[in-house]
Each structure stands twice: as C-alpha cells, then as structure tokens.
Amino acid sequence: MVKLDIKGTWLGFKRLLPLSMFVIAFGLAFGLAAAQAEMSKLEALLMSGLVFAGASQFAVLELMREEIPLLAIMITTFAINARHLLMGASLYPWLKEIPTAKRYGILTFISDANWAIAAQDYQQGERNLGIILGGGLALWLAWVLGTWLGLVLTQGIPNPEALGLDMVLGCFLLTMAVGGKKDLRVLVIWATAASVALLALKYLPPNSHVVAGALAGGLVGAFWLPKTQAAEPK
C-alpha cells in the first residue's frame, strides 16, 4: 500500500543530504551568474524557489541578456526539462493511488537524483512516497541556499570580471556538454543541436537559435533511444 509519512520523508531527506552539498555549489554558481545578469536578489531567489531547475535557469539567464519574447524563454525551458515528462510517467504506477493535489505537490520537488532513487526503491517493493518528498526537499533547500550564498558573495566582489567570475555561466554550460556520457548517440545529438543552432543564427530571427538547437537535439535523443531502453519490450 502506498503511503506518505514523516518517518519516510525524513529518511528520504537524510539519504539525499550528502548529495545536496554539491547542489549548494551549483546554486552558488547560479547566484553569481544571476547577479552578473543584473537580476535582483528577490527575482533570483524566487526563480530558484519556484522553478527549481538548474539547467533551464542558467539557460534563461543567458536569454535574458538579450531582449527576446517571453514565449521563446518558455519554449526553451520546456525543451530543457522535457525529460520530466518521462520521469513522471515512470512514477505513475506509484503515484496514481494518491489524490491529485497531493500527487502534483510531491512532483513539485522531483529532480534527477530523488527520481532515480525512488524508481529503484519502487522496483524493490518500497511504497513510501517520503523518499521522493524528503529527498526533493533536501535538494530544494540546498539549491535555494546556494543561490542566496552566491548573491551574498557577489556583494563583496567589486569587480567580478577581474576574477573571471563572468565566465561562470559559460563554464557551467560547457561542463554540461562535455561531462556526460560519451558515445556515438550523444555525439550525434550535440552535433545536430550545434548545426541547427548555427543555421538558425544565420537565417532565423535573433536569439531563436537557442530554441531551434535545443529542439533539434531533443528530437534526435527522443527518437534514438539508448540501447538499454530500445531493447526493453513494449
């Protein structure tokens, strides 16, 4: 029977607490980048608290440097976080037994880390949703705290560019590109995204290359599944 109690939530919180230390570091980087993008402290904290999606938040910061339509920002955010559709679908057998309001309240705190642990626990017979909620709360608090620390530290740095802090965003995005799994599939995805982005930069309206590249790479990844997923029976 599916349940949600304080004990399970606390267990999930403790299990994800060590990982949350690294999340603080990423949040700090976002706080620094947000300050460089001239976003107010309140706006940055609200974004981290309400959006809670590191990659898309960094991408939006880059888009905000230019005056582009809000729709483009929304599409980019959706494209980056489209994996959450699959994550939610994989947890549906677990979540379908609880009321709708509580279900989506729990999913508000879903992230790659607590989803992976929850999916593994479900396969092993665990039915306490606290692992999702508690783990997500640990990561969410770490992300907001890191953002706040980044904003505070920026106050004491009169010239961030002199220390190379203006490169935080670029380095983070570059790390995302080269730090993951490396195989032919990933290479084709990145090459497609880069090629389409370059073509869009030349032939499409300004700043639309970000959306075009993200959508192109995402489509390739959606149709070309990893071998372990493609081999699973339907």
For residue 89, pLDDT over 60 is answered with yes
Q: Which residue has the tokens 């505070």?
A: 152
Same domain, 131 and 196: no
Question: Which phi and psi (to 5°) does residue 15 adopt?
Answer: -65, -35
Rounded to a whole number of angstroms, the CA Rg of the chain reads 19
Same domain, 189 and 172: no
Same domain, 127 and 37: yes
Query: Which range among 50-54, 71-75, 138-142 shows the weakest confidence by mean pLDDT?
Result: 71-75
Last residue of a domain, one of 138, 164, 179: 179
Dihedral of the CA atoms 187, 189, 194, 196 (nearest 10)? 140
Same domain, 130 and 21: yes
Give residue-wise pLDDT tens across range 180-208. 567 788 888 889 988 998 998 888 876 56
For residue 211, pLDDT over 50 is answered with yes
* Assigned domain for 174 exists: yes
Same domain, 155 and 208: no
Same domain, 104 and 207: no
Same domain, 88 and 133: yes
Same domain, 99 and 175: yes
Same domain, 20 and 64: yes
Last residue of a domain, one of 179, 210, 225: 179
Give residue-wise pLDDT tens across range 212-225. 887 888 788 778 76
Which of 178, 226, 164, 214 lies closest to 59 in space, CA to CA?
Answer: 214
What is the rounded CA–CA span in Å between residue 219 and residue 224? 8
* Assigned domain for 195 exists: yes
Question: Which phi and psi (to 5°) does residue 50 adopt?
Answer: -95, -35
Dihedral of the CA atoms 119, 120, 122, 125 (nearest 10)? 180
Same domain, 125 and 18: yes
Give residue-wise pLDDT tens across range 59-81. 888 777 666 777 877 877 787 77
Find all residues with CB under 8 Å of 134, minimum gap 6, and list them: 8, 9, 10, 11, 12, 13, 14, 15, 16
* Assigned domain for 150 exists: yes
Q: What is the pLDDT of residue 226?
A: 67
For residue 48, pLDDT over 90 is answered with yes
Last residue of a domain, one of 163, 179, 195: 179
Segment 2-17 shows an average pLDDT of 87
Across 63-67, 95-99, 140-144, 157-161, which has the greatest mean pLDDT?
A: 140-144
pTM equals 0.68
* Assigned domain for 137 exists: yes
* Assigned domain for 223 exists: yes
Segment 74-98 shows an average pLDDT of 80
* Assigned domain for 15 exists: yes
* Assigned domain for 131 exists: yes
* Assigned domain for 1 exists: no
For residue 53, pLDDT over 80 is answered with yes
Give the domain extent around 191. 180-234
Higher-confidence residue: 228 or 107?
A: 107
Same domain, 17 and 121: yes
Q: What is the pLDDT of residue 199?
A: 93
Same domain, 23 and 118: yes
Tell me how many domains the chain contains: 2
